[in-house]
Structure 1
Amino acid sequence: MSKTDDIAFAFDDEAVLLVGHGSRRERSNEQVRELAAALESRLGIPVDAAFLELAEPAIDEAFETLAALASEVTVVHCSLFAASHVKNDVPLAVEQARATHGIEINNGAHLGIHPAILDLLEDRAAAVERRLGVDRDEDDVAVVLCARGSSDPDANGDVHKLARLLYEGREFSRVEASFVGVTEPTLEESLHGLSKHRPDAVVVLPYMLGDGVLTQRVRDWTDEFDADYPYVEAVAGDPLGTDSRLLDVFADRWQEARSNSVEMSCDTCKYKVDLEGYEEDRGGARAMLRALAHQESHADREDVDDEPHSHDAPGKHVAVCTNRTCSGMGSSAVLERLRQAARDSEHCDARITRSSCLGRCGDGPMVAVYPDGIWYGDVDETDADRIVSDHLDRDRIVSDLVDQTL
Structure 2
Amino acid sequence: MSTPDQTTHASTAGFDDEAVLLIGHGSRREKSNEQVRELAADLESRLGIPVDAAFLELAEPALDEAFAQLAPVTSQVTVVHCALFAASHVKNDVPLAIEQARAEHDLEINNGAHLGVHPAILDLLDDRAAAVEGKLGVDREESEVAVVVCGRGSSDPDANGDVHKLARLLFEGREFDRVEASFIGVTEPTLEDTLHGLSKHRPDAVVVLPYMLGDGVLTQRVRDWTAEFDDEYPYVDALAGDPLGTDSRLLDVFADRWQEARTDSVSMSCDTCKYKVDLEGYEEDVGGARAMLRALAHQEAHADRDDIDEEPDSHDAPEKHVAVCTNQTCAKMGSPAVLERLRQEVRDSEHCDARITRSSCLGRCGDGPMVAVYPDGVWYGGVEDDDAERIVGDHLDRDRIVSELVDQTL
> Normalization by structure 2: what TM-score?
0.71
**C-alpha contact 1:92 1:284 (8 A) present in aligned 2:** no
How do residues 387-398 of structure 1 correspond to structure 2 at under 5 angstroms? none
**C-alpha contact 2:151 2:211 (8 A) present in aligned 1:** yes
Question: Could you tell me how far 1:196 is from its partner in structure 2?
Answer: 0.4
User: Distance in 2 between the 1:66 and 1:6 partners?
Assistant: 7
Aligned-partner SS, 1:74: strand
Question: Could you tell me how far 1:32 is from its partner in structure 2?
Answer: 0.3
Could you tell me which amino acid in structure 1 is paired with residue 80 of structure 2?
V
Question: Could you tell me how far 1:281 is from its partner in structure 2?
Answer: 1.8
Q: 1:242 aligned to 2:246?
A: yes
Q: 1:154 aligned to 2:162?
A: no
**Deviations 1:10-35, CA, capped at 9 Å, x for gaps:** 32x10000001111211011100000
Could you tell me which amino acid in structure 1 is paired with residue 98 of structure 2?
V
Alignment length, in residue pairs? 314
**C-alpha contact 1:290 1:371 (8 A) present in aligned 2:** no
Aligned-partner SS, 1:235: strand
Q: 1:262 aligned to 2:269?
A: no
**C-alpha contact 2:275 2:291 (8 A) present in aligned 1:** no
**C-alpha contact 1:270 1:281 (8 A) present in aligned 2:** yes
Considering only CA atoms, is the larger Rg found in Structure 1 or Structure 2?
1
Aligned-partner SS, 1:368: coil
Q: 1:9 aligned to 2:14?
A: yes
User: Distance in 1 between the 2:289 and 2:94 partners?
Assistant: 8
Gap runs ≥5 in structure 1: 297-317, 324-364, 376-391, 396-406
User: Distance in 2 between the 1:319 and 1:259 partners?
Assistant: 25
Aligned-partner SS, 2:148: strand
CA 1:115–1:374: 2 relative to 1, 3 Å: farther
**C-alpha contact 1:148 1:181 (8 A) present in aligned 2:** yes
**C-alpha contact 1:88 1:285 (8 A) present in aligned 2:** no
Match of residue 168, structure 2, among 164, 169, 182: 164
**C-alpha contact 2:277 2:286 (8 A) present in aligned 1:** no
Question: Could you tell me how far 1:369 is from its partner in structure 2?
Answer: 3.0
The aligned residue for residue 49 of structure 1 is 53
**Deviations 1:71-129, CA, capped at 9 Å, x for gaps:** 00000000000000000000000000001112000000000000000000000000000
The aligned residue for residue 38 of structure 1 is 42
**Deviations 1:326-353, CA, capped at 9 Å, x for gaps:** xxxxxxxxxxxxxxxxxxxxxxxxxxxx
The aligned residue for residue 175 of structure 1 is 179
**C-alpha contact 2:19 2:51 (8 A) present in aligned 1:** yes
Question: Could you tell me how far 1:289 is from its partner in structure 2?
Answer: 6.0
CA 1:285–1:279: 2 relative to 1, 3 Å: closer
Question: Could you tell me how far 1:285 is from its partner in structure 2?
Answer: 8.6
CA 1:140–1:240: 2 relative to 1, 3 Å: same
Q: 1:140 aligned to 2:144?
A: yes
> Normalization by structure 1: what TM-score?
0.72
CA 1:205–1:65: 2 relative to 1, 3 Å: same
**Deviations 1:208-255, CA, capped at 9 Å, x for gaps:** 000000000000000000011000000000000000000000000000
**Deviations 1:142-199, CA, capped at 9 Å, x for gaps:** 0000000000011100000000000000000000000000000000000000000000
The aligned residue for residue 58 of structure 1 is 62
**C-alpha contact 2:92 2:295 (8 A) present in aligned 1:** no
Could you tell me which amino acid in structure 2 is paired with residue 106 of structure 1?
N
User: Distance in 1 between the 2:76 and 2:45 partners?
Assistant: 18
User: Distance in 1 between the 2:112 and 2:188 partners?
Assistant: 29
The aligned residue for residue 86 of structure 2 is 82
Gap runs ≥5 in structure 2: 3-7, 301-328, 335-364, 373-379, 383-406
**C-alpha contact 1:286 1:374 (8 A) present in aligned 2:** no
User: Distance in 2 between the 1:254 and 1:192 partners?
Assistant: 41
Question: Could you tell me how far 1:6 is from its partner in structure 2?
Answer: 12
Match of residue 200, structure 2, among 180, 196, 199: 196
The aligned residue for residue 386 of structure 1 is none
User: Distance in 2 between the 1:162 and 1:243 partners?
Assistant: 18
**TM-align CA RMSD:** 3.0
**C-alpha contact 1:81 1:110 (8 A) present in aligned 2:** yes
